[in-house]
Chain A
Amino acid sequence: MVINGKMFRSVVFHALVLGCGLIMLYPVFWLLSSSVKPTTEIFTSKSLWPTEFTFQHYSKGWFGLRNIQFGRFFLNSIYLCLVAVIGTVISSSMAAFAFARIQFPLRNLFFALMLGTIMLPGHVTLIPQYIMFHKIGWVDTFLPLIAPKFVGDAFFVFLIVQFIRGIPKELDESAKIDGCGWFTLFFRIILPLSFPALITAAIFTFMGTWDDFFGQLIYLSDIKKFTVPLGLRLFLDSSGSSNWGAVFAMSVLSILPSLIIFFLGQKYFTQGIATTGLKG
């Protein structure tokens, strides 16, 4: 086989793109490798491949805090995320259906207001919200993190509106002729057809809730209610530089759910980002 100029250019090109990508990901690989290296090797060995694999960092980390295990943080995080996903998908798709398909007074005003809330820095509402939740005794429960998910998220309402607008309106008409009301139309026709948009919303809600360090930080103070990000931070503060291996091991575990969901739902990711600019 003769290697011509074009092929050579192509090989160089791929090598470059791949090489840069791997350099970018190097810290992540290093994190993975450090979590299974013997402690003495973490900061001394230049090689990513450990001389021997050890999982002691994982067990040390998992049981590393007194009176509580990382498993508890995972259960709390998973619970929060699942409830958040259900709440967001239901409420956002309801609002989206109203905006995309039903004519009612002030619709355009509300739609504009909703888009406005996307641009609004969260800090402006943060303190009164906190005071409100404090007054009704919700601080240090999961409720301030869960309840707001049941009123729809402007980002996802917008995403689903865009999607519903692409569904032929003739379907609505014929459903109405067959005697369907708005509810049947929503549940039987629009929701099933919007499935890709709903999955996108579900995925991003899961990831967003999983990584919502700020909200969890201000609302949760009882260690039994701690989530994975809070647990990780606590662990970093309490063992920190004395036990990097275990900190890294728990870090790896904490990003695992995001990675798994990403690889399972990759195509929805790309679509979701391209339509709404999520996760900038």
Chain B
Amino acid sequence: MQKYKTYAAGYLFLLPWLIGFVFLYLSPIIASLYLSFTKYDLLTAPKWIGLDNYKAMFTDDYRLGDSIKVTFKYVLLSVPFRLAFALGLAMLLNQGMKFLGLYRTIYYIPSLLGGSVAISVLWKQVFDKEGIFNQAIGFFGIEGPNWIADPRYAIYSLIGLSVWQFGSVMIIFLAGLKQIPQELYEAATVDGAGIFRKFARITMPLLTPVIFFNLTITLIQSFQTFTKAFIISGGSGGPINSTLLYSLYLYIKGFTFLDMGYASAMAWLLLIIVAAVTGVMFLTSRYWVYYSDGRD
């Protein structure tokens, strides 16, 4: 009897989450898979069209091709740089130095604000022809292009904005670095190891779980970036699709053209891409992620 009372209490506390899981996750996932095989414009009933959406995605839709290319470029350039800056700064700040709190705050502020519309608005200005970025490089005698309006460069302003927000990743690295026992470095110093050897043999291996974590989370988030591209391109993904990140194109298809079947198919393609990338990460992790608790 007591046992069942406990079960009831458990489910009672879990009830809000369970309701949310069923209505906001489970059934929408099934519905979106179904919708991806239909033509649906929200006003008339969904019409089953089999694999037509998927066929169209791979054969007709050159904008989707552009969008995927741009998204991969964005992810492959912004994620490594963001992580590298975060790790570099974290190691620098982890020297047990004074003012750590202040520096952590300074470097975190871009992460804090970076997702806002305000910063994207600002970014439009920063990378304008007359913007402060060009003013800065003009100081060294380089004449910069109009980054936002030039299809060759527009994506780099988005990548720059993403890398600029490395602060939160840095804080996770800092927490990870603090976990590494100081004795290891002392022992290595006694054995005559230099700074690079210590980095390669102690810091890197012991930090791999944190790197793995940061890499996975940042990758998943980067594939879904929306606000920056929407604001900076004025909602178009232009010029010439050069900032048409996947989420933005999905939004245009689903909510501007009301092609909800097609947008659902796009969502499933994104899910497959993200699952594949995460899957590869997990599968390869046993070769490069080191768990010190003996779990190999």
Contacts and interface: CB of A to CB of B under 8 A. Distances in A.
A104 B11 contact: yes
Main secondary structure of the interface of B (DSSP, over half): helix
Contacts of A124: 28-29, 32, 267-268, 270-271
Contacts of B24: 125, 129, 148, 151
User: Which 8 residue pairs are nearest across A and B when measured between Cβ atoms?
Assistant: A151-B20, A104-B10, A274-B175, A251-B118, A128-B28, A128-B31, A98-B13, A21-B106
B226 A214 contact: yes
Interface stretch (A25-33, A50-58, A63-71, A78-86): A25-33
B117 interface: yes
Interface in B229-259: 230-231, 234, 247, 250-251, 254-255
A27 B122 contact: yes
Contacts of A266: 105
Size class of A's contact patch? 35 or more
Interface of A: 10, 13-14, 17-18, 21-22, 24-28, 30-31, 43, 46, 91, 94-95, 97-99, 102-105, 107, 110, 113-114, 117, 119-132, 134, 148, 150-152, 157, 181-182, 186, 207, 210-211, 213-214, 217-218, 229, 232-233, 236-237, 244, 247-248, 250-252, 254-255, 258-259, 262, 266, 269-270, 273-274, 277-280
A164 B120 CA distance: 38
Contacts of A250: 118
Given A123-B250, A251-B122, A129 B17 contact: no
A152 B16 contact: yes
Contacts of B218: 280
Contact of A30 (B16, B25, B132, B224): B132
Interface stretch (B62-70, B108-116, B184-192, B200-208): B108-116
B241 to A, nearest CB: 19
B146 interface: no
B21 A114 contact: yes
A273 B173 CA distance: 10
B262 to A, nearest CB: 10
Contact of A127 (B21, B103, B227, B260): B260
Nearest to B111: A279
14 contacts: A24-B106, A91-B20, A94-B14, A94-B16, A98-B9, A99-B14, A121-B270, A121-B274, A134-B42, A182-B9, A213-B231, A232-B117, A269-B108, A278-B168
Interface string B6-36: 1101110111111111011101110110010
Interface of B: 6-7, 9-11, 13-21, 23-25, 27-29, 31-32, 35, 42, 92-93, 97-99, 103-113, 115-119, 121-123, 125-126, 130, 132, 135, 164, 168-169, 171-172, 174-175, 213-214, 217-218, 220-221, 223-224, 226-227, 230-231, 234, 247, 250-251, 254-255, 260, 263-264, 266-268, 270-271, 274, 278
A269 to B, nearest CB: 8
Contacts of B217: 277, 280
B110 A24 contact: yes
A10 B218 CA distance: 33
B267 A127 contact: yes
A28 B220 CA distance: 27
Most buried by A among B29, B105, B116: B116
A46 B110 CA distance: 22
Contacts of B123: 27
Contact of A152 (B6, B20, B92, B224): B20
Contact of A43 (B32, B106, B130, B264): B130
A98 B25 contact: no
Contact of B6 (A14, A104, A150, A273): A104
Given A21-B106, A270-B104, A127 B254 contact: yes
Contacts of A110: 14, 17-18, 21
Nearest to A44: B130
A236 B121 contact: yes
Given A22-B106, A182-B13, A279-B168, A127 B122 contact: no
Contact of B221 (A157, A233, A273, A280): A280
Contacts of B174: 274
A211 B17 CA distance: 23
A186 B267 contact: no
Given A121-B220, A244-B125, A186 B13 contact: yes
Nearest to B161: A27
